[in-house]
Structure 1
């Protein structure tokens, strides 16, 4: 379904450009298209067409035979970024020209969400350089290899040549990205010293690795082998030995002349920048840092909650959840007299909860994650009416970046259905994956968490494209954390240790409220935050360090999970109270999911309208 609809969008665009058909051309070129959806869709499509990497990620042009964009990388220059910000007032004017009374209910909601995003972008423009675009978690230095590995599909020689073309452009893109880094330096926005240490170590390891072992080389080689095996099943050949040798020789050449020199640009820059860096970590230390942090909290939570309110809420939730965990541990025979931390350490010391620290043990973790997801997928009929059509696979986070990566993450499927959703698990520290935590993590990242929410939103019929990819973290992460509780409510974590895993995950998000605001508002040091999280979660030290360092480079993002979960539970409780015996959990989930990601206040209105209509 989604593949057909996106192909149709691509064909509409081509028809508008090539044939000039009257209605289609009007919708594409008019200052005010007849349909509001046409205006916002064409605006997003035009932006996407200006970003070849976005087009690759969306994957819909390949469905109509267009692949030329896969040979190019984005323009990462400051001038290009300025172009986007200069476009925003005109886009807002275009959205506002549609009066509410000429729109149906769905379009009115789309207009409200579009104005919300545009107004926030205008308000936050003053803080656009408050951030560290190259850090231990994300940035061109690790995003480019991951993008090429996960999203650049190779099934033909043209695809492989496009891959090589992108390698040839990476020095240009790194040079453009350096413009933004130097501007931030001029403004006094310099990463903390540990961030520079992490990225230097990561990049040095990347260039020191033999080219034939580098992910950019190995990934293309594996894709060609897979395509050749598929072709041979049909008694054909695409990548024979001679073709592969030619292509891999070209990869080696581009690694030497473009890729490695690009990384050396950054290595040289950050080596010099390190002398200017400090060990203060919070946003409070930057120019207008307090205002920038407040703006970040508003963006990520879609609320006006203050840093102090979020901090105090976190402290209360930490106490509550720890109490529930201690009760379960006591029932299981653990000594809780010394308090939370010793009891959790006693639980963690049990060897039966861990896999062997071997390649076989890590493969078993991936296999068991898949089993968990298959099991819950088969048992959700009473709680969900709608399901995503896109499939989902479990994969290990690439080893070159897993040391500083989070415990897991989800990558959405291709919008045309050609690539499934991906649940990436971090297997760097085997002790960070106790068996009792695996169900909760799988439910959060996969089913019924991120995969359900994101894939269902992408596949929703009738929604504008921007609503299929709206960046409302409080909704998306709030849903994933809520999904953990739903799985428990449905009986998928009836083992008391699995329930401890669930509660520890919720405790982890409550602690985030405390440490994120502690670092960026209350001026905690990195070490203070690490100590607090270690003492109050029972997490492995390696995970705690990665998490705290994540919050430092992504201010406010970590607060969205718990804020979003609490709001969704509050909305559900209000719907239950009004509907009483008429409340249907599957219908509630349909209402929450079918509109895509939205700000939390708008979600409350959506559910309230559903309840009102059902009570008529």
Structure 2
């Protein structure tokens, strides 16, 4: 959790240069800048410039000719995290010196959100090693090649040489991460055995391929081919250098982790919940508070999930019965009958997978052209659909979104997992596209990045209940607006909501009620109708990311509750565009603050 907060703080940074907001000398160097926003922006910028990978991801310095950071990798030594905690304590002390009476409404909100983030970060300091930074879902072993592939742009020889420099430095980065793994081992924090088996399988396969088949080589080759001003001779030279570094630097870096996990495998256990770690129950309670931005206990969340599972399953059975399906044997049998029909799947071929990507883009283009009645504000950034890289799709989620660069040179990306063709039937595609793309994550994240007049950290804040709640809300919104009028598309929507309700049950089941991995898999298979391969990936995700999966449904329920309240209070004065303006134009916020903002909107609208 700590690392994710720092990552988001770092990612929220910079656009101050792009937006022309140069700091006065006093505001940059003063112990306490005169303006609160200057202090908050400076704090974020200082963290950003400590992270060359963040600077590459945001992609704004390149437009003014600064590229040296693209030859560097982040310093991942454990001491860097210690230093960040110390720095954040100083930031909190300074933030408290800004008197509320001197701040306007917007500034007060920024201060409140900043304090919320700092408090939840600092209270987690004693448990900063209670995680598994190398796991089957994310970690340096797949994050590094994904970063190089998706975010390191190559438009010149210098860009390619920076790319190769990063290949050369990867062993240092892996060694630093290994230090952190050994610290965790000393504290009795080892991942479950299945996690070790998964990452060993992944890394062993990664180094077993010839260098020319490695994604780090093939990605550079494709980028060089697309570059306009790099001669064939230069391309050959650069690719030869890359091959040498993959063999001399990248493979040995991976071998460090392979050797380590082989060494500790027998020390690991098959206990999966975070309860098995020292103070695991306290850590899970903190995770739930961070991810849901509520004070709901694990028991309350579990019971909400059970109630919602029953409700949504009944809605699905009602539709199936109207479509002449036999529902007499219950939900599992009925949904398995639906899922077994070949008409709902694409051919399990290269052409079939290419058609899926094409159809996703068509779905997104269609809804993007039909949202005038629901939205005034739209992101300027475009969005593209891509396949999740094949080397990691076996253990990756069904889809994910990657934010655009802040200068607009890289669009937002909707990555779809095409590993198991049966994992996403045709009737589920609309819902997935709306969630990850338009008007889901792409609208919310890109709009927040483009907001003017508020501190940088609020443009990409780590409030998962808001961000994922919004994305899940847009699945329902698309149905409300008529984009899923086919009854089977509506079943796809309901299955997606059911999936998030089941998450409430299994996440708390694993980490609070001490369910085994298999018990959680069995419950999810029986209550969702999802492909078994997807269920296994999902349950294993919840094990290494305690609490995160509960944020979706909790956020959705709050946003729907607030929309219902606004409609009931305002009657004919209610305008869906106004409601979405309130939700989107303040950036991501905790759910209690969102409630206050909507209440204020209702009061203001009622008085007119």
Residue 41 of structure 1: aligned partner: 41
SS at match of 1:10: coil
Residues 171-182 of structure 1: matches in 2 within 5 Å? 171-182=171-182
Residue 572 of structure 1: aligned partner: 563
Q: Is the 8 A contact 1:488 1:499 kept in 2?
A: yes
- Give the aligned CA root-mean-square deviation in angstroms: 1.4
Q: Is the 8 A contact 2:14 2:456 kept in 1?
A: no
Residue 72 of structure 1: aligned partner: 72
Q: Does 1:9 align with 2:40?
A: no
Q: Does 1:124 align with 2:115?
A: no
Residue 465 of structure 1: aligned partner: 456
Measured after TM superposition, the shift of residue 503 of structure 1 is: 0.1
Supply the distance in 1 between the matched residues of 2:45 and 2:201 (Cα, whole angstroms).
Answer: 38
Higher mean alpha-carbon deviation, 540-549 vs 602-611, is at 602-611
Supply the distance in 1 between the matched residues of 2:38 and 2:599 (Cα, whole angstroms).
Answer: 28
SS at match of 2:422: helix
**What's the CA shift string for 1:534-589, capped at 9, x where partnerless?**
00000000000000000000000000000000011111112122211111101100
Which of 361, 364, 368 in structure 2 is aligned with 1:373?
Answer: 364
Supply the distance in 1 between the matched residues of 2:473 and 2:568 (Cα, whole angstroms).
Answer: 19
Q: Is the 8 A contact 1:281 1:552 kept in 2?
A: yes
Q: Is the 8 A contact 2:398 2:416 kept in 1?
A: yes
Supply the distance in 2 between the matched residues of 1:169 and 1:192 (Cα, whole angstroms).
Answer: 30
Which of 517, 531, 540 in structure 1 is aligned with 2:531?
Answer: 540
Q: Does 1:160 align with 2:160?
A: yes
Q: Could you state the TM-score of these two structures normalised by the residue count of structure 1?
A: 0.95
Supply the distance in 2 between the matched residues of 1:556 and 1:546 (Cα, whole angstroms).
Answer: 16
Measured after TM superposition, the shift of residue 35 of structure 1 is: 1.6
How many residues are paired up?
A: 596
Q: Is the 8 A contact 2:440 2:470 kept in 1?
A: yes
Supply the distance in 1 between the matched residues of 2:451 and 2:176 (Cα, whole angstroms).
Answer: 37
**What's the CA shift string for 1:176-221, capped at 9, x where partnerless?**
0001100100111100000000000000010001111110001011
Residues 32-111 of structure 1: matches in 2 within 5 Å? 32-111=32-111
Residue 234 of structure 1: aligned partner: none
Distance 1:12 1:325, change over 3 A: closer
Supply the distance in 2 between the matched residues of 1:201 and 1:13 (Cα, whole angstroms).
Answer: 48
Higher mean alpha-carbon deviation, 247-256 vs 525-534, is at 247-256
Residue 151 of structure 2: aligned partner: 151
Q: Is the 8 A contact 1:564 1:600 kept in 2?
A: yes
Residue 193 of structure 1: aligned partner: 193
Q: Does 1:588 align with 2:568?
A: no
Q: Which runs of 4+ in 1 moved over 4 A?
A: 5-8, 11-16
Q: Is the 8 A contact 2:127 2:283 kept in 1?
A: yes
Measured after TM superposition, the shift of residue 9 of structure 1 is: 2.5
Which of 302, 307, 315 in structure 2 is aligned with 1:324?
Answer: 315
Measured after TM superposition, the shift of residue 32 of structure 1 is: 2.0
Supply the distance in 1 between the matched residues of 2:145 and 2:490 (Cα, whole angstroms).
Answer: 37
**What's the CA shift string for 1:463-496, capped at 9, x where partnerless?**
2111111100000000000000000000000000
Q: Does 1:251 align with 2:242?
A: yes
Q: Does 1:448 align with 2:455?
A: no
Measured after TM superposition, the shift of residue 151 of structure 1 is: 0.5
Q: Is the 8 A contact 2:57 2:405 kept in 1?
A: yes
Residue 222 of structure 2: aligned partner: 222
**What's the CA shift string for 1:501-543, capped at 9, x where partnerless?**
0000000000000000000000100000000000000000000
Supply the distance in 2 between the matched residues of 1:472 and 1:12 (Cα, whole angstroms).
Answer: 24
Q: Is the 8 A contact 2:13 2:41 kept in 1?
A: no
Residue 503 of structure 1: aligned partner: 494
* Structure 1 segments unaligned to the other structure (5+ residues): 17-23, 229-237
Q: Could you state the TM-score of these two structures normalised by the residue count of structure 2?
A: 0.97
Supply the distance in 1 between the matched residues of 2:121 and 2:568 (Cα, whole angstroms).
Answer: 37
Q: Is the 8 A contact 2:14 2:45 kept in 1?
A: no
Supply the distance in 1 between the matched residues of 2:18 and 2:413 (Cα, whole angstroms).
Answer: 28
Residue 334 of structure 1: aligned partner: 325
* Structure 2 segments unaligned to the other structure (5+ residues): 1-11
Distance 1:11 1:295, change over 3 A: closer
